[in-house]
């Protein structure tokens, strides 16, 4: 089992370009697995972890409702945003500058074969990272992602998640609001949930800006521990 994961820092990159790149890596791992089964081989499968910031974009998961996008094409263009219907789970979400987006493209057979465990560990990675900033975050029953003040009228989401998996290979991932412009969330019903707000790390800490690099390093550390993996450049 290959527990090495190649980390790729993509900087700020167009959503569709990144999605296509994810698909290339995803398909490459799938093809190795298919070849192994057909030819009774034992070729190692690669694992990747992409970090990226996207320009303003709204994405709708395969189970999502287009009515949760509150903008028409002209309004999207006026806000400098794009829209894509994509092949992950979940409903609608927003990506943009000031947000750390992580796409682990893993062969889970290198780690464990349990999608629910995979999602819970991604959530735990974020929960442990936020704890280092003095924030108590948690899961909200029946709602994937990471939240603050669950069970109160002030519940708010700080990290969205949506993944796709085939033959235990994952793609898509999480989006953690660090210095995000929360105004862009006003143009959607985030994740199809109408009665809860969205927040960002800088807002919670009362800071103008939080170091994205510091947050990323903390995420990587907790990911490595939780998945018992080795991250390589």
The catalytic site residues sit at 191
Sequence-ordered strand ranges (E) for the chain:
4-12, 48-53, 57-60, 82-85, 92-95, 99-105, 137-140, 143-148, 156-166, 169-177, 197-198, 230-232
Contact by Cβ (8 Å): 70, 27: no
Contact by Cβ (8 Å): 72, 174: no
> For residue 124, how many other CB atoms are within 10 A of its CB?
16
Q: Taking each helix axis as running N to C, give the angle between helix 212-227 and helix 115-131, from 0 to 180 degrees, rounded to the nearest 10.
A: 140
Return the SS3 of 205.
helix
CA 199 to chain centre: 16
Give φ, ψ of 43 to 5 degrees: -70, 140
Q: What is the residue whose two structure tokens read 């034992």?
A: 42
C-alpha distances out from residue 127 to 90, 104, 120, 121, 132, Å: 20, 17, 10, 10, 9
């Amino acid at each position: 089992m290959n527990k090495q994961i190649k980390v790729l820092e993509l900087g700020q990159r167009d959503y569709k370009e990144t999605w296509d790149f994810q698909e290339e890596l995803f398909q490459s791992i799938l093809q190795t697995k298919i070849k192994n089964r057909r030819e009774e081989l034992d070729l190692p499968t690669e694992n990747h972890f992409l970090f990226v910031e996207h320009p303003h974009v709204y994405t709708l998961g395969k189970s999502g409702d287009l009515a949760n996008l509150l903008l028409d094409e002209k309004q999207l263009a006026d806000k400098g945003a794009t829209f894509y219907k994509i092949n992950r789970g979940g409903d609608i979400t927003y990506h943009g500058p000031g947000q750390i987006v992580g796409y682990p493209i893993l062969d889970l057979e290198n780690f464990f074969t349990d999608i629910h465990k995979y999602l819970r560990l991604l959530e735990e990675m974020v929960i442990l990272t936020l704890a280092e900033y003095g924030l108590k975050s948690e899961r909200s029953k029946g709602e994937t992602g990471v939240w603050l003040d669950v069970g109160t009228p002030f519940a708010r989401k700080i990290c969205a998640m949506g993944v796709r998996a085939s033959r235990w290979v994952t793609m898509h991932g999480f989006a953690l609001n660090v210095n995000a412009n929360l105004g862009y969330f006003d143009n959607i019903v985030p994740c199809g949930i109408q009665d809860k707000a969205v927040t960002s790390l800088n807002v919670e800490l009362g800071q103008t800006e939080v170091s994205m690099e510091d947050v990323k390093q903390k995420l990587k550390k907790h990911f490595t521990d939780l998945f018992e993996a080795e991250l390589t450049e």
